[in-house]
A and B are shown apart, each in its own frame.
Chain A
């Protein structure tokens, strides 16, 4: 069965620090990859997605992610975080034929201090 691992459960950064959140998935075939963000008290919002093509994907709010097939990874990055980036970040995967069912990682809770 497919699974998604997010290694960092809690991350604390100061404003302007760089961010990298790890995501690894276990599935040998073609996958689609997503990062969602959940701000406190809000719903999940799509940050970015990768289906095919350029493995470096740019999303909203200055986020980007890089798909490295050989490492089964899809890490999320942002060069300079802001206090408003405080949220929980979820990596998710689905597979062709999986009826679009999203499999989520456990999430990473990011706290950014001013």
Chain B
């Protein structure tokens, strides 16, 4: 157990819908990262938040957004869902701000999203 929690574990929804994935970082960690794992794209970085502020963006679609709340949990919002959004979404956390790239990331169990 990494100490990073994600809910829900599984989510099945229809095209065009909107869902929210939730992540709670390890105690003491201020950074949260979101990654998408799909069969065709592999594991890809989506976005990074540090202490409530967005720090870096990766291959995140405009239909996707995220935020980090004062209690440091983070939510990833996916809207106008398409079949291709079906994937495993991982959250990771680390202690620092991400500027020091020796900061190790610890991953949560993931949320498996299926879009029908």
Residues of A within 8 A of B (CB): 32, 34, 36, 42-46, 49, 51, 90, 92, 94-107
Contacts and interface: CB of A to CB of B under 8 A. Distances in A.
B105 A100 contact: yes
Given A100-B33, A100-B48, A100-B94, A46 B104 contact: yes
A51 B102 contact: yes
B2 A98 contact: no
Interface of B: 2, 4, 31, 33, 35, 42-45, 48, 55-56, 58, 90, 92, 94, 96, 98-110
Given A43-B2, A99-B55, A32 B102 contact: yes
11 contacts: A32-B102, A43-B108, A45-B107, A92-B43, A99-B98, A99-B99, A99-B101, A100-B48, A100-B94, A102-B35, A104-B43
Contact of B45 (A36, A45, A103, A107): A103
Given A97-B101, A101-B56, A104-B35, 4 more contacts: A43-B110, A45-B107, A100-B33, A100-B103
Contact of B48 (A42, A45, A96, A101): A101
Contact of B101 (A36, A46, A96): A96
A100 B29 CA distance: 14
A102 B98 CA distance: 11
Contact of A98 (B96, B101, B108): B101
A32 B100 CA distance: 11
A96 B96 CA distance: 14
Given A43-B90, A43-B107, A100 B101 contact: yes
Contacts of B48: 99-101
A107 B42 contact: yes
